[in-house]
Amino acid sequence: MPNRNYSRDAMILLAEDDENDVVLFRRALEQAGIPNPVEVVRNGEEAIAYLKGEGKFSDRAKFPLPALLLLDLNMPRVDGFQVLKWIRSRPELDALRVIVLTVSRDIYNVTRAYRYGANSFFVKSLDSQTFIQLVEAIRGYWLSAGLAPHISPPNGPVIGEDRGTPSP
């Protein structure tokens, strides 16, 4: 199957417990002209339930696997590190692109996130212009220029699969 870039329809999963950051992120998407749909989960347990397709997230037509996960580290119940470790332990999700988006500049957290399998690490800014630039950088590389891996949900179609091209 050939690699392909994700389109503007590629879904972004935002794992963020701070409502102000969610509003800031949505506003930055709008101001940057990024039309990608965004689903928000408020804690690590919800992030895992979403990715498993369990509970209220069981309808994959309504809650598709994301093309990209933006993951806060400091969340209630299950933190971002635990979510990241869980994702990388799942063969069907181990290629999911995960960007850590947090307030921490602590080198220990940066190193730990990369060791657990983060694809990138960004520090959030409360300055709206800086946040817009961050969102534009995410779109520019992770949603436009970078080639996306294929992610297969259990017993489901491959996410990002080009159905018109047969597998090799």
Residue holding tokens 């809650």?
A: 63
**Structure-block tokens of residue 57:** 């997230």
Asked if residue 153 belongs to a domain, the reply is: no
Provide the pLDDT for residue 7: 61
- What's the structural domain count of the chain? 1
Instruction: Please check whether residue 39 lies inside any domain of the structure.
Output: yes
pLDDT computed for residue 151 by the predictor: 61
Is residue 6, in this structure, part of any structural domain at all? no
Positions in the chain short of pLDDT 70: 1-8, 141-168
CATH number of the domain enclosing 113: 3.40.50.2300
Measured at the CA of 135, the angle between CA 138 and CA 93, to 5 degrees, comes to 45
Residue at 48 is within a domain: yes
| Domain hosting residue 87, numbered range | 12-145
158 domain-assigned: no
Give the distance, in angstroms, between the CA of residue 119 and the centroid of all CA atoms in the same chain.
10
Per-residue model confidence as pLDDT tens digits over 52-91: 999 999 999 999 999 899 999 999 999 999 999 999 999 9
Compute the CA torsion angle 161, 45, 72, 86 (nearest 10 deg): -60
Q: Give, in degrees to the nearest 5, the angle at Cα 109 between 159 and 19.
A: 65
Per residue in 1-29, is it b (16+ CB within 10 Å) or e — as a string? Answer: eeeeebeeebbbbbbbbeeebbebbeebb
**Separation CA 2–CA 78 (nearest Å):** 36
pLDDT of residue 152: 59
Q: Are 20 and 38 in contact (CB under 8 A)?
A: no
Q: What pTM, to 2 d.p., does this model score? A: 0.80
